[in-house]
Structure 1
């Protein structure tokens, strides 16, 4: 009996501790507020095709059914007959807002009431499922927000299939959901309407939408730049299958035929209950111990990382004399990104995230690269290396450095914002309009000039060491800018030393095999990576296709085999969007230059200056034939 009561007191004490712990968390939830917390004037989430309101627990988002009589919005339809108006259908995915859809062969409009002037962040949610009596290939429609056209002749299932093809997704048990994002400006006295218009040139075309979100932006974003491009986000979820076990009404347990338990039976039940109670208490205490132990280990690990990182950061960042690089405070950066809100994330990498923000009272858009503290000393070195390197460089084809932040535990670099994103964003894996061949050539020439400057025009000869399409950015005029100097190294002087011995770093698919094998880094390692970029630009595909077998798996090997097979094979490897639009002489020169860059022996590769000359000749051949 004493044993029982001792466990009971332990259990009760543990419950009290757990209760206090939850209370502390609860209080923290209310007292810890983000820097510059604010309330959006509009923050509306519409669940299309349903009469029910719901709450998504993950983010506590309230979704309002569009079939309700809401004071916030109304649905207007242009169907000529009442029985042909838009309908509500259920989808294979049950989670809001993708569980239902409004779908119609006719134009329909959502009118948002009482919208305040200013820039609004719009999210449209699409589930490209197969709806009853609506074939996925027929979902060809446009979307307008007031005077702005957000989507033109959009086909959700086609976009999803293209995304799967580029990323080689083939799991039939997963559903690909699409989220479209755009920033628009609502003028004073203007209403906000979202109109879905089926393409009348396609027979039986229809429009649909699963969810709509409308949000006001932070005051610093009242001058949300007009170049802010729309973007798509794709997410895979497991297909929910309805299941029911023993659902038959007759599957009820039969009435008990046993007699009432005797006194001895009651004692037995009591003993069993106490045993179960003690076991559950022991399990609970064990879980508390395991959780506490894991937290202590994690804390010790983080303290070690913090100590190493702090020691590495004690040496101040050295900037070039006369450099105008600004040193920002964490308060300024937090204000520029609304405390690092994910809606402003424009890129993600191994280093951390890149945010779009605004400084100088909202007049200047910037890109903010925030390093992850968990990267430890390596992250600190890459941060310092990039700031110190960029502060000494200035070229039209290098991304301009604005400043940095080294406050407290944060390591942040601030650049000019590049409105058109990365080169990769316009080659494959997105819904962006593919680049023309002339655009691609000019971008390659620009990036080549940036690398040539690093190799021979800067104060020091620099090896970039991570040349790839995602590190070539495009400004609003489509001018190429080489970025991300975290792995860059000061190269050999070429007089007494021709390589740098260093740990192998870079990106898979772009890595110079000679450097990977010998750990000897040269400027020709960048030339190899740039050759892969050229092939990527020509073919519109990734350097490595992990789920593909045979010669097409590796882009470089596939290009070599196509060259050996002749002109017809080379034509077949060209991106279908530009196939047939390239002059044969231009194509031959471009392929020759790209394959010369990726030869096995580094000393047989051309210099970046020679590569640029070859690309400029290819452009002249293309332009000459078009005149």
Structure 2
């Protein structure tokens, strides 16, 4: 049976089209597993154009998945931002529920690259800024008339395109809230992935947009340290309390990814770590606002780029000093041993 919700009518995609796009949900097209079911890659004809898509197929055994399915459709239908995945449409036909988005994860999810020495400090900073801008849009954009509390920020829901630009996904448990009430607590059970869940939820019995800030702070430390938020068999299973301890003891460098230490400027690290610590430390009221986070992370990038420029200039100066010495050496050799 097909949905009759008028608001979403223009987004409906026939099941036959999705089956053709994914080769009948062929195993070879599986690219991941979302919280609601398997995700398939495919190619779909849309408005005369062949586009590459991701199709999240709701697992029929997933209890309560129907509510989460419609939450995600509802959220994505309203959200338009370069750092948020774009919905193509959905299928609600013949007991199948499928969310179709543009294929954004050409470089997988952030989680897959946390420990990679190939992901540079510059790339990591730009990923952080992109996610922060997406959060600022969710929390403050006045064009919608309401804010969005994501409640599922983690390194798995941050996808990376071919240019390593982040695309935020995973809106299945998101909440809409009036912009002037984003500070107010919405009664809720702890929601999210272990290691990222705001500890204030249990204390206040609810969430605010600052719950997203906490989760993002954990991601910031994941990116800095090159390790996951939760490592089951590790002595320090949870990254957040470890990061707080190391920061307060001025021993943060001990847990930073070794491949990054020689890349980062001291000032960019200082700005970045202060932001990350602000996001996860103490009560919600002490957490930095999203817009301030964007501004500070942009400063961290500027500081790092200035540092790189200075290093490049120093390298050129060293080369310029070496060249005359080499010239005079060659001149002396020719003088001593004329041809």
Q: TM-score, normalised by structure 1?
A: 0.47
Task: Give the match for residue 394 of structure 1.
Answer: 80
**Aligned Cα root-mean-square deviation (Å):** 2.1
- Distance (Å, rounded) in 2 between the aligned partners of 1:407 and 1:383: 13
2:280 to 594, 598, 623: 598
Query: Offset at 1:501?
Result: 1.2
> Is 2:246 the partner of 1:558?
no
**Structure 1 587/359 Cα, relative in aligned 2: closer, same or farther at 3 Å?**
same
Q: 1:534 to 1:494 in 2, by over 3 A?
A: same
Map 1:443-592 onto structure 2 (within 5 A).
443-457=127-141, 458-459=143-144, 460-494=146-180, 498-549=184-235, 552-566=236-250, 569-592=251-274
Name the counterpart of 2:107: 420
Deviations 1:380-399 (A, max 9, x none): 11111111111111111111
Q: How many residues align?
A: 304
Which protein has the bigger helix share? 2
1:202-281 paired onto structure 2 within 5 Å: none
Distance (Å, rounded) in 2 between the aligned partners of 1:373 and 1:393: 27
**TM-score (norm: length of structure 2):** 0.84
- Greater strand content: 1
Q: Which residue of 2 aligns with 1:3?
A: none
Question: 1:347 maps to what in 2?
Answer: 32
Is residue 43 of structure 2 the alignment partner of residue 358 of structure 1?
Answer: yes
Q: Residue 515 of structure 1: CA displacement?
A: 1.2
Question: How many angstroms does 1:496 deviate by?
Answer: 9.7
Contact 2:183–2:209 (Cα < 8 Å) also in 1: no
Give yes or no for contact 1:382–1:487 (8 Å, CA) kept in 2: yes
Q: 5+ residue gaps in structure 1?
A: 1-312
Q: Partner of 2:261: helix, strand, or coil?
A: coil
Compute the displacement of 1:621 (Å): 0.8
CA offsets 1:481-517 (integer angstroms, 9 cap, x no match):
1111111001254359712112332111000000133
Taking the aligned partners of 2:284 and 2:44, their CA distance within structure 1 comes to 44
Asked if structure 2 preserves the Cα contact closer than 8 Å seen for 1:427 and 1:434, the reply is no
- 496 and 358 in structure 1: CA distance in 2 versus 1, 3 angstrom threshold: closer
CA gap 1:314/1:474 in 2 versus in 1, 3 angstroms: same
What is the Cα deviation at residue 318 of structure 1?
A: 5.3
Q: Secondary structure at the match of 1:374?
A: coil
The structure with more radius of gyration: 1
Structure with higher RCO (Cα < 8 A, 6+ apart): 2
Distance in 2, matches of 1:622 and 1:521, equals 35
Deviation at 1:548, TM superposition (A): 1.5
Structure 2 gaps, min length 5? 310-339
CA contact (8 A) 1:471 1:483 kept: yes
Instruction: Name the CA shift for 1:362/1:576 in 2 (closer, same or farther; >3 Å).
Output: farther
CA positional deviation for 1:433:
6.3
Q: Does 1:373 align with 2:60?
A: yes
